[in-house]
A and B are shown apart, each in its own frame.
Chain A
Amino acid sequence: MTSYKHLVLAALSLALSASPCLAATDTAEHKLGNGMRVIVKPDRRAPVAVMMLLYQVGSVDEVNGVTGVAHVLEHMMFKGTAATPAGEYSRAIAVAGGRDNAFTSNDYTGYFAVLQKSQLELALRLEADRMTNLTFSPEEFAKEIKVVMEERRLRTDDRPRSQVYEQLMATALTAHPYRRPIIGWMNDLENMRVDDARNFYRSWYTPNNATLIVVGDVEPEGVTALAEKYFGAIPSRELPERKPQDEPPQLGAKRVTVRAPAELPYVLMAFRTPALRDPERDWEPYALEMLAAVLDGSEAARLSRTLVREERIASSADASYDSIARGPGFFYLGAIPTPGRSAADVEQALRREMAKIVEEGVSEEELDRIKAQAVAAHVFQRDSMFFQARQIASLESVGISHRTLDLQLAKLREVTPEQVQEVARNYFRDDALTIATLDPQPLEGARRAKPSLPVRHAQ
C-alpha cells in the first residue's frame, strides 16, 4: 500500500507551492513512428496526472442501421483483453488510487484516467493493451448492450427535453450524420451485434487515428518515452475513407413537435452556422461566440434580463454556440415559458431579441463586459487539470491545434459590434432555422411507447 507519509509530502506541493513561476507551461508535442500523436502539458500544482487517449472517431463515422456503435464500442473497451479480463481495467486503476471513464461525442471518443503521477505508466500500459487486444466476448456484449439501452432510456427516452434536442437535430439535417443521436436509435441498439462493434474497432482504433494527451506534474520526455514503450510497436493501419457528407442547402424553416408528458412547454431553435476552421483567418465563429454571450453570457446578459426578469415571459432562456465541430456548426436559442405563457409566446420573444440585434446591433459596453469575462475564465480554467485535458482533446479532435487557445482569446477580444450585428444578420434567417417544440401532455393515462420490436439480444 502507498505509504501515508509519502502522500503527505506529495500533497504538500500544491498547498505550499507559493512560487509565481508556475505560469502556463508550454505543451510539448511528439509524433510516434506509427503516427500516434502525444501532447503533454506540464502542470505542477498537484502530484497528479490526467491521461486522455483520444480516438478521432465518433458517431459521425457510423452508418445507418448501426447508429450508436461508436458509443457501444466505448462500453466494450472495459470488457476485457486476453491479458486484462473484463472489469480488470477499472479494478487496476482503482487500486492505483485512480478514477477512470470514457466519453463519446459526434466527432471523437475519449478514454481517461486520473491518477497520482507515479501511476501514469499503469494507465498507458492498459490503454495500449486495449488498443489492439480487445476480446469482444459475446456474453459480455449481450449484457453491455442492455446497459446501453438502459442508458438511452435514462438520458433520452424518459426526458422530454432530451427528446426535443434529438428531434431537433434529426430535423435540422437531411444528409449530414450529426442528425443521428450519439447514443443511437433504440431499434439499432436492439439489433446490434458484437461484430458491429468489432468491425468499428478494427476500422478506427489505430495509433495513427489516436492522440495521447497528458496534463499534470510530469516531464514531457518521460511521457513520450512511456508512449514509445507501450504504443510504439503497434502498427499503423489505413483508415477507411471519410466522405464529406455535406449538408445540402436548406430551403426554408423547419419545424417539429414533440408531444410528451410534462408540465411546461419548451422551445429550442437551431440556426445553421459555420464552425471554426482556421483560427487565424476566420472571424465569424468569434463573432458568433460574442453573440451568444451578449444573449446569455451571464446573469446580466439580454435573455435573462429581458425575458426572465423584466417581462417575465420565460422561466429560463438560453443561447449557445459551439464553434468546435468537424461538421456544421449550430447556434441554439431555447426557452421555457413561465406558467400561463405559451411556447408561441417565448418563441416570439426570442425572435424579437434576435431582430433587435439584427436591426440595432449591440453596444461596446456589452462586448467589453463579455471580454472581461472571457479573460477571467481563461485564468479560472487553469484551476482544473481535467478541464485543460478536455479542452485540448476537443480542439485536436477536429484538427485545430490547442496552441491556438491564446490566439482564440485574442481574436475574441478583437470582435467589433459591427461584426456581431453582421453574423446576426447572416445567420438569424428562416432558411437556416429549425424549431422544435415540446407540447406537454398530462401524465394521467400516459402510455409509454411500445418497443418497435421485441427486444432481442445478440447471440
Chain B
Amino acid sequence: MLLAAGPALAILPIQHWQAASGARVYFVENHDLQMLDVSVEFPAGSGYDRRAKSGVASMTQRLLTSGAEGMSEEDVARQLADIGAQLGGRFDADRAGLSVRTLSGEAERRRAIDILARSLRAPSFPVEVLNREKVRLVGSLKEADTKPDTIVSRTFYRLAYREHPYALRSSGEVESVGGITREDLLAFHRSHYGARYAVVALIGDVTRAQAEEIAEELTRGLPEAGGQEPELPPVDPLAQAATRTVPHHAAQAHILIGAPGVSRADSDYIALYVGNHVLGGGGFVSRITEEVRQKRGLAYSASSYFYPLQRKGPFVISMQTRSDQAGEALKVARATLATFVKDGPTAEELEAAKRNIVGGFPLRIDSNRKIHEYLALIGFYRLPLDYLEDFVRRVERVSAAEIRDAFRRHVAPARMVTVVVAGDSPKQVDAR
C-alpha cells in the first residue's frame, strides 16, 4: 500500500473521539455554509423487535419527538419551526435515531441541540399520542397492503428471512401494533438507546471544541444500558428455492428475486458491489436493464442491489412489467443472473464499472448531506476512518475472478426466493 491509512491522508478529514458518556463521535469541520447537520443513532432498528411485539422499535423512534422533560409534542414542533430547523430521523433494520439540520448561528444551534438532546434522553411517550399513532399506523399498513409493491416485498422478506428478525415488517404488523404499550416503549428506549451504543455524526460550521460540547450534551443523560450491546442473530442461508405467486388486480406484475446476501463487515462486499454494478446496479448500462428494458422493452425499471446490514442483508433483483409478460421477464432476469454468476463480468464491463465508481467518487461527497450519511455509516458499523479512500483503492484492484468467486460464495441462483404479484397467467409466471 502506497498510501498510509493515517488520518492525515484521508480524503475526508474525519475527526473521531469518544464522549464522556461512551458515545462514539465522528466530525467533519466545514465552514462553507452557515449550517450544521447532526445525528445520533443507536442499534435500535426493527431487527431488535420481538415477533409478538413487532413494531415497538419503530414506534419508539417515531415517538421520540412527541415531547420530553416538560416539552409537549406541540412545543417540539413549534420551537424547531421557529428557528427554521429541519428534523429528520433514521429507521431501518439495524439503525434508529434522530437528526437535525440547523443554521449554525449560536441561538439557532443551541435551541436545536437542546431539543434534540432532551428528546433523545427523556422522551415522555404520552399515551394519548401513542394511541393516535397506532390508529394512523394501522390505517397506513392496511393501505400499503393493497399495493403490489408492498405485497411483493413483505412476501419476499418472509420467505428469505423466515425466523430471523429481518423478516419482520419494519413498522410492525397490523396485528401486533395494537398491543404496543407505553411501558414497551420505555423499556425499549432504556435498553436500546444507551449512551455507550450511541453514534454521533456532525458536519458543518462549528469548531472542534463546539462539536465536543454538542456531543456531550447530546449523549449525557442517555440511558446507562449495562452489559453487552444488543446483538442480532446470524442469518441462515436458504436451503432451497422458494417461489410464490400472489394474485393481484394491478396492471403490472411486481417481481422480486433474491436471498440473504452479505453483511457490512464481509470482506467480499467490495467485489460484490462492483460485480453488481455490472449486473444490475449501474443504471442504464447494467446487464439486467439492458436485457429487460433496452433490448425487450419489458419494464420501466429493472435492477439489482445488495443491501449490506449488520447481518446478511438481502441481494435483490427487482422489476415490474405488464402482467402477461411476467413469465418472460422472469426468464430473462434469471438467465442473466445465472450467466453472470457462472462467468463473472467481462474485462470491458469490469473496466467500465471501475471507471464509473472511481471516476464518480467526487460525486459521492459533494455535499454536507452526503458526507453526513457516510459519517453515520462509518460510525455505526465501526468502519475504519479511511473507509472511503480504502473503498476506492479496493475497487481499483478487484479482478473479474474475485468478483466471480465472491458471487459464487454469496449468490446461489438455484436457491433464490422468487415472488411475483400479478393478476394474469400464473402458469406463465411459474415457468422457469
Determine if chain A interacts with chain B: yes
- The answer to whether A300 and B32 have CB atoms under 8 Å apart is no
B392 & A4 in contact (Cβ 8 Å cutoff): yes
CB neighbours (8 Å) of B231 from chain A are: none
Task: Flag whether A385 is at the interface (Cβ < 8 A).
Answer: yes
- A154 touching B301, Cβ below 8 Å: yes
Task: Say how far A46's CB is from chain B's closest CB, in angstroms.
Answer: 4
For residue B119, give the distance in angstroms from its CB to the closest CB of chain A: 13
CB-defined A-B contacts under 8 Å, sample of 24: A1-B396, A7-B392, A12-B11, A17-B30, A20-B31, A87-B294, A91-B285, A97-B358, A97-B360, A115-B360, A115-B363, A147-B297, A150-B320, A153-B250, A153-B320, A153-B322, A298-B81, A299-B81, A300-B74, A300-B80, A309-B74, A372-B84, A373-B84, A383-B35
Residue of A nearest to B360 (CB): A97
Minimum Cβ distance to chain A for residue B277 (Å): 9
- Give B residues with C-beta under 8 Å from A: 3, 9, 11-13, 28-35, 73-74, 77-78, 80-87, 101-103, 108, 132, 135-136, 138-140, 142-143, 145-148, 248-252, 282-285, 290, 293-301, 320-322, 351-352, 354-363, 365-369, 371, 389, 392-393, 396, 423
Q: How far is the CA of A91 from the CA of B34 in the complex (A)?
A: 38
B146 and A443: CB pair below 8 A? yes
Known: A151-B300, A262-B143. A158 touches B13 (CB 8 A): no
CB neighbours of B369 from chain A (8 A)? 383-384
0/1 interface trace, chain A 144-158, chain B, CB 8 Å (1 if under): 111111110110011
Closest to B368 in A: A383
Total of A-B residue pairs, C-beta within 8 Å: 244
CA of A403 to CA of B248, assembled, Å: 51
B100 to chain A, nearest CB (A): 11
Q: How far is A148 from B295 in the complex, measured between Cα atoms in Å?
A: 14
Pair A376/B249 contact, Cβ less than 8 Å: no
Q: Report how far A158 CA is from B297 CA in the complex, Å.
A: 19
- Residues from chain B with a CB closer than 8 A to the CB of A336 are 139
User: Cα distance A446–B147 when bound, in Å?
Assistant: 13
Could you say which of A8, A116, A158, A298 contacts B252, with CB atoms under 8 Å apart? A158
Query: Does A235 sit within 8 A of B, measured CB to CB?
Result: no
Most buried by A among B28, B285, B362: B362
Give B307 Cβ to nearest chain A Cβ, in Å. Answer: 20
Q: CB < 8 Å: which of A119, A143, A369 contacts B81?
A: A369
Write out, one digit per residue, whether chain A residues 106-127 have a CB within 8 A of any chain B CB (1) or not (0): 0000000011100100000000
Q: In the complex, what residue of chain A is closest to B354 when comparing beta carbons?
A: A1
A309 and B133 CA atoms in complex are apart in Å by 9
Question: With A16-B13, A154-B300, A339-B135 in contact, do A8 and B140 touch (Cβ < 8 Å)?
Answer: no
Q: Scan residues 276-333 of chain A and give those whose CB is less than 8 A from a CB of chain B.
A: 297-301, 304-305, 308-309, 312, 315
Pairwise interchain contact A446-B249, C-beta atoms closer than 8 A: yes
Nearest-neighbour CB distance to chain B for A310, whole angstroms, equals: 9
Task: Name A46's contact: one of B3, B249, B285, B362 (CB within 8 Å).
Answer: B362
**Most central of B3, B251, B366 by chain A CB within 10 Å:** B366
- List A contacts of B282 (CB < 8 A): 94
Q: B296 and A154: CB pair below 8 A?
A: no
* Contact of A274 with B by CB under 8 A: no
Q: Which of A95, A147, A263, A315 contacts B352 (CB 8 A)?
A: A95
Interface string of A125-153 (1 = CB under 8 A from B): 00000000000000000111111111101
A380 adjacent to B35 (CB under 8 Å): yes
Interface centre among A22, A86, A157, A379 (most CB of B within 10 A): A379
Q: How far is the CB of A36 from chain B (nearest CB, A)?
A: 26
Contact-residue bracket for chain A: 35 or more
User: B147: which A residues are within 8 A, CB to CB?
Assistant: 158
CB of A111, distance to nearest CB on chain B (Å): 13
7 closest A-B pairs by CB: A97-B359, A376-B84, A146-B297, A143-B297, A46-B366, A446-B249, A299-B77
A78 and B282 CA atoms in complex are apart in Å by 16
Asked if A15 contacts B359 (CB within 8 A), the reply is no
**A2 nearest CB neighbor, chain B only:** B359
Chain B positions within 8 Å of A1 at CB level = 351, 354-355, 358-359, 396
For B367, the chain A residues whose CB sits under 8 A away are 45-46, 383-385
Binding site for B on A (CB under 8 A): 1-2, 4-5, 7-8, 10-12, 14-20, 22, 45-48, 78, 86-87, 90-91, 94-99, 114-116, 119, 142-151, 153-154, 157-158, 261-264, 297-301, 304-305, 308-309, 312, 315, 336, 338-339, 368-369, 372-377, 379-380, 382-385, 443, 446-448
With a CB–CB cut-off of 8 A, which chain B residues contact A86? 294
A437 CB, min distance to chain B CBs, angstroms? 16
B103 touches A379 (CB 8 A): yes
Residue of A nearest to B424 (CB): A448
List of B residues within 8 angstroms of A142 by Cβ: 297
CB closest residue in chain A, given B11: A11
* Partner pick for B296 among A99, A143, A383, CB 8 A cutoff: A143
Asked if B363 contacts A99 (CB within 8 A), the reply is yes
Chain B, Cβ-Cβ closest to A116: B362
A147 lies within 8 A of B299 (CB): yes
Nearest CB on A from B66, distance (A): 10
B-chain residues with CB within 8 Å of residue A384 when the two chains form the complex: 367, 369
4 more contacts with CB within 8 A, not counting A145-B297, A309-B73, A339-B142, are: A97-B356, A97-B358, A150-B297, A158-B251
Chain B residues near A94: list those with CB within 8 A.
Answer: 282-285, 352, 355-356
Give min CB distance, A218 to chain B, whole Å: 13
**Cα–Cα, bound, A146→B302 (Å):** 14
A114 proximity list for chain B (CB < 8 A): 363
Instruction: Return the contact of A448 from the options B142, B296, B423 (Cβ within 8 A).
Output: B423
Closest B residue to A8 by beta carbon equals: B11
The residues of A that contact B389 with a CB separation of less than 8 Å are 8
Which A residues are CB-close (under 8 A) to B322? Answer: 149-150, 153
Contact A447-B34, Cβ < 8 Å, known A91-B285, A338-B135, A385-B366: no
Given A16-B13, A380-B101: A315 in contact with B139 (beta carbons within 8 A):
yes
Residue of A nearest to B323 (CB): A448
- Chain B CB within 10 Å — which of A4, A94, A116, A146 has the most? A94
Bound together, the chains give a CA A384 to CA B369 distance in angstroms of 8
Would A309 and B132 count as touching, CB distance under 8 A? yes
For A12, the chain B residues whose CB sits under 8 A away are: 11
Contact in complex: A263, B145 (CB < 8 Å): yes
> Shortest distance in angstroms between B393's beta carbon and chain A's nearest beta carbon?
7
Give the CA-CA distance A12 to B31 in the complex, in Å: 14
Cβ contacts under 8 Å, A4 to chain B: 358, 392-393, 396
Asked if A154 contacts B368 (CB within 8 A), the reply is no
**Complex Cα gap A375–B9 (Å):** 37
